[in-house]
Amino acid sequence: MKILILKFRNIGDVLLISPLIANLREKYQNSTIDVAINEGTEEVLILNKNINDIIIFERDSIKSLPFFKRLFYEMKFYKKSLNKKYDIVINLTEGDRGSIISLLSRARLRFGYKGKSLLSKVAYNNFLPDQEFRHTIETNLDVLKILGFKEISKKVEIFWEKEDERVVASILKETRDFVHIHPVSRWLFKCVANETMAKIIDFCELELKRNVVITSAPNENEMSKVEQISQLCRSKPLNISGQLSIKQTAALNKRAKLFIGVDTAIMHVSAANDIPTIAFFGPSGGDHWGPWDNNLSESSYISRNGIQIMGKHIIISEKRGCQPCGKDGCNGTKISDCLMSLDIESIKKYIWKVSVN
């Protein structure tokens, strides 16, 4: 049995397919399981022993090419993706690229979403149900039901090497029982107000007496925002933004007492590590993307907004009628008003509740 899973999205989306991969490996133990993903997302799957091969689409470099060169590289990628003659192709993302690969594969079983285009309607012989109000992990597992078996686990997993732990140890030195704060996303409209985040850091450092370690991706906009937050702090958190890879950040997070951050890939990494996670949600829906508790089998994120709890994890969100809007900020500003006016005293109570448990 040869299986190809397609997930052309972002880092967090790719991490959340790990339960599906594990279940397919358990069911088809001697099978080949390959995954095709966008360049830059592969780090959350590397070292996963359930995967035979990771096929990377160099999206950023290809999309800037002239039309005919782009078409050439697209076709080259399709050929590479199909060289094993797969029996099952599973496209977990709506979009033409996955539909084309599925159609060209001639696989016996082809799973995907029925979109508006004719291509999506002819590419698959098994259509996946709409997500509606279900968590993304649960929708990723829909294919198992169609195949006729129940999932064994919904556990999200990420792996790293000893060298990653050594890098983290050299940075942390004697720092123990710290709070890991990842206050930014590549999409800044997912971020809370700088003043709010600075008050959260000061509360952890000065009132809870816990060291704070701040991380971000090695991205100028993210690191700049972290610097702006740091300048508003009265305390002196350890700011190592931009210094770690995703795997190193995961290794660091595993040592934390608590994680606080926005809706981003590192939030999902923290939940995968079983670290209590407090996450702020604005334009995205917690029912779809809330931090998943690996010790539970069903999501308790049943609302589109508001405060929600799943096991050891907490979503903090206002309860506005417009949430979640899925937009990149309000009125084209790249700033989400629903994340600018969060009640700091309420946030402190939840941090206190989690930190003393």
Residues 312-347 have pLDDT tens digits of 999 999 999 999 999 999 998 999 999 999 999 999
What is the pLDDT at residue 254? 98
pLDDT band (50, 70, 90) for residue 16: very high
**How far from each other are the two terminal CA atoms of the chain, in whole angstroms?**
46
Q: In the predicted model, is pLDDT for residue 68 greater than 70?
A: no
Look up tokens 């001697």; give the residue: 30
What is the pLDDT at residue 61? 78
- CATH class name, domain 2-147: alpha beta
- Tens of pLDDT, residue by residue over 198-236, are 999 999 999 999 999 999 999 999 999 999 999 999 999
What is the pLDDT at residue 66? 81
Q: Average of pLDDT values for 246-259?
A: 98
- For the chain, the average pLDDT equals 94
- Tens of pLDDT, residue by residue over 110-160, are 999 998 888 989 999 999 999 999 999 999 999 999 999 999 999 999 999
**CATH of region 163-355:** 3.40.50.2000
Other Cβ atoms within 10 Å of 149 Cβ, number:
12
Q: How far apart are CA 6 and CA 55, in angstroms?
A: 9
Higher pLDDT, 73 or 311: 311
pLDDT band (50, 70, 90) for residue 356: low
Q: At what angle do helices 96-105 and 67-81 cross, to 10 degrees?
A: 50
What is the pLDDT at residue 39? 94
What is the pLDDT at residue 6? 97
**Domain extent listing, the chain:** 2-147, 163-355
Q: Which residues contact 58 (CB under 8 A, 6 or more apart)?
A: 39, 73, 77
Query: How would you label 166-198 residue by residue, b for 16+ Cβ within 10 Å and e otherwise?
Result: ebbeeebeeeeebbbbbbbbebbbbbbbbebbb
What is the pLDDT at residue 353? 86
Which residue type is seen at 305?
N
What is the pLDDT at residue 281? 98
Q: How far apart are CA 63 and CA 17, in angstroms?
A: 25
pLDDT band (50, 70, 90) for residue 70: confident
Look up tokens 């008050």; give the residue: 199
CA distances, 16 to each of 131, 201, 291, 323, 348 (Å): 14, 28, 10, 23, 29
CA neighbor of 214 nearest in space, from 234, 185, 242 = 242
What is the pLDDT at residue 301? 97
What is the pLDDT at residue 83? 82
pLDDT band (50, 70, 90) for residue 98: very high
- Tokens representing 108? 């016996």
Q: Average of pLDDT values for 93-109?
A: 93
What is the pLDDT at residue 357? 66
Q: Average of pLDDT values for 257-271?
A: 98
Topology match between the domains 2-147 and 163-355: yes
What is the pLDDT at residue 340? 96
Q: How far apart are CA 184 and CA 170, in angstroms?
A: 24
- Tens of pLDDT, residue by residue over 272-310, are 999 999 999 999 999 999 999 999 999 999 999 999 999
What is the pLDDT at residue 69? 76
Q: How far apart are CA 201 and CA 258, in angstroms?
A: 12
